[in-house]
Chains A and B, each alone.
Chain A
């Protein structure tokens, strides 16, 4: 946006062929007119002294208006080069006022101020000093580009420069009026007789020429205004040539024509600045129009979507609500702004307001799920997002919020939780009976010495255990997903627990040898049942995925804050690409070389979640065909609740 703004200003607008053309055409017209009229410059015309104050007044008005417009640029762009121009256009009118007052026959028979030579000296100073300010402009542009000076001019510098310029101008006025007798004469009556006149005028001409060259060389006419300043210099040179160098006396054709060129010279910069102002006004109007249309589109959009939408200012005060908000809450705009808290459920209101204040203070996005009061008094669950908006300068500009109705989704979630809770409960009851019956029958057969039937019952028991584990895993997965896996923290001896689990799994397989090497560990504070579940899962996996049998090495190792348990087998291992996924929910390793193993793909997912909830870590290292090593750590007494 910054770039778009400054491009409008001529001070920074880059010149192109299109923008240069008017300046070039004007220059050609000026020169042509000069060449055509120059031969008749000495043609005497009737004396018309009032012409001078009229002309000077026009120049004064144009210069002062130019100053006003240039000052506006200076205030906005702070370019030091513009300050040189401002001073130039302040200097000229002061001398022009004195010149008009001193011109003989303009207001009274003689001069109002000064003497016979005053106007000539004022004219010389006025025109010879004017290009100096343009030289200043060119030099400051060069220094500005080369970073010799600061790019931004201070208010103090502006005041100082303007005051110095006024002092210089007034000094010249005083010297040429009160001190006129000290200066050598330039005029004899109405005639420019002195060789000094020619010398000063020629010198002035040289200064103009130097200004033009420096302007061209230092600015390269890179900006639109540079070209127009060159036109001003050329018009001024023509003006000087016609009214000073080419004429012999006042009231010749050149005297009048020169002043017309002077008027033109005074009008170029202001014309360009005015045109620019009009362009800017047009731009503002069209931008405002675009903004209005854009806002209209935004409002239509926000009114069409089913969400409740609002925006807040940078302090968090609501400033806008969409139509849907008013329909849903039944609140008016004033109520919404002042009493939006009324829309919150009393149970959550305090926590939500606290969370919003924290987000507001930290300028962080606010995300929450809570109930919003409908016009009829019913509360419905919404997912609410309120994001901070930052301006191009990085400052907080405001907030943009939305609320999406998730009431049905919430109800479905609750239903799902209830269903799984009931279903698992209902499944567990018959499984409990089944298990008690099979165990009892096994005991009976063993007591009766019927070993064959006792073995059948043992197999049946294993299947009941599998069924039990599946039900438990499904229930655990639901609890983890809903964030409801609770831990019963208690101190216990980890080595004892590992021994128990190792003995249990060892009983299931004669072809495997489970070897436990405790090293440190001892008592930790954790959920014994859940850690037991992790151990059972890792140990039974080690057995399950070592179909050829072999050793399973279990060890513990203590560090300052945690104990690490390692379970290593020499089984089929895990392919590289699968290692990053074995802890994912429902993930099962698929491999062309390996047979399919039964399971839901939940064991490692649940184990990793149990370890994570304890504040620990779990990882796997494996090479396909060479076994797998699972390692998990549990902090001695820390658990996330």
Chain B
């Protein structure tokens, strides 16, 4: 089973994403970016990061991951309530962006596509 790390400062989002994605993936959730900053996490197959986190910006985390030797090839999906951040997210190295509120189907497709692409590479 593929492993996902989801970081969002809203517990209800973490709850519901664990619920819908838990059947297909091994999901780990964090309410903030400290495990990433401290390096205290197991390498997943994909990251889902909220852009606006308490403490750290999701894009900064993304930039950090894309510069790490172990993590630079792991796909990152940015989820955000702010529209029009595609360019900023791309500059930070994110592989895709989903605007809140997104459809479950869109999230599932996005994850499947990025994991598929990644597997082929």
A and B physically associate: yes
Q: A112 → chain B, closest Cβ, in Å?
A: 108
**Which residues of the other chain, A, contact B82 by a CB distance below 8 angstroms?**
421, 425
Q: A174 → chain B, closest Cβ, in Å?
A: 101
**Which residues of the other chain, A, contact B84 by a CB distance below 8 angstroms?**
486-488, 529
**Which residues of the other chain, A, contact B52 by a CB distance below 8 angstroms?**
425
Q: B37 → chain A, closest Cβ, in Å?
A: 23
Measured between alpha carbons, how far is A435 from B104 in the docked complex, in Å? 8
Of the candidates B13, B16, B81, which one forms a contact with A425 in the assembled complex, judged by CB atoms under 8 Å apart? B81
Measured between alpha carbons, how far is A614 from B19 in the docked complex, in Å? 41
Chain A interface size, as a band, is: 20 to 34
Measured between alpha carbons, how far is A20 from B83 in the docked complex, in Å? 86
Number of interface residues of B (CB under 8 A): 21
**Which residues of the other chain, B, contact A425 by a CB distance below 8 angstroms?**
52, 81-82
Q: A77 → chain B, closest Cβ, in Å?
A: 71
Which of B83, B102, B103, B105 neighbours the largest number of chain A CB atoms within 10 Å of its CB?
Answer: B83
Is B86 close to A, CB under 8 A?
Answer: yes
Measured between alpha carbons, how far is A488 from B103 in the docked complex, in Å? 22
Measured between alpha carbons, how far is A572 from B29 in the docked complex, in Å? 51
Of the candidates A437, A440, A475, which one forms a contact with B83 in the assembled complex, judged by CB atoms under 8 Å apart? A475
Within 8 A of A (CB), among B70-104: 81-84, 86-87, 100-104
Q: A20 → chain B, closest Cβ, in Å?
A: 83
Is B43 close to A, CB under 8 A?
Answer: no
Is B42 close to A, CB under 8 A?
Answer: no
Is B12 close to A, CB under 8 A?
Answer: yes
Of the candidates B13, B81, B105, which one forms a contact with A433 in the assembled complex, judged by CB atoms under 8 Å apart? B13
Measured between alpha carbons, how far is A425 from B105 in the docked complex, in Å? 22
Contact A429 B83 (CB under 8 A): no
Query: Closest residue to A464 on the B side, CB-wise?
Result: B101
Within 8 A of B (CB), among A425-445: 425, 428-437, 439-440, 443
**Which residues of the other chain, A, contact B17 by a CB distance below 8 angstroms?**
436
Contact A436 B16 (CB under 8 A): yes
Measured between alpha carbons, how far is A425 from B13 in the docked complex, in Å? 13
Is B109 close to A, CB under 8 A?
Answer: no
Of the candidates A432, A464, A487, which one forms a contact with B100 in the assembled complex, judged by CB atoms under 8 Å apart? A432
**Which residues of the other chain, B, contact A436 by a CB distance below 8 angstroms?**
13, 16-17, 19-20, 104
Q: B112 → chain A, closest Cβ, in Å?
A: 16
Within 8 A of A (CB), among B22-60: 52
Given A429-B13, A433-B16, A436-B16, residue A424 in contact with residue B81 (CB < 8 A): yes
**Which residues of the other chain, B, contact A476 by a CB distance below 8 angstroms?**
83
Q: B18 → chain A, closest Cβ, in Å?
A: 11
What would 7 A/B residue contacts be, using CB atoms closer than 8 Å?
A428-B101, A429-B13, A432-B81, A433-B10, A435-B102, A436-B16, A439-B20
Interface residues of A (CB under 8 A from B): 421, 424-425, 428-437, 439-440, 443, 464, 468, 472, 475-476, 486-488, 529
Top 10 A-B pairs, shortest CB-CB distance: A428-B81, A432-B101, A425-B81, A433-B12, A439-B104, A436-B16, A432-B100, A431-B101, A428-B100, A435-B101
**Additional pairs, 20, CB under 8 Å, beyond known A425-B52, A476-B83:** A428-B81, A428-B101, A429-B13, A429-B81, A432-B81, A432-B101, A432-B102, A433-B13, A433-B16, A435-B102, A435-B104, A436-B17, A443-B104, A464-B101, A468-B101, A472-B83, A475-B83, A487-B84, A488-B86, A529-B84
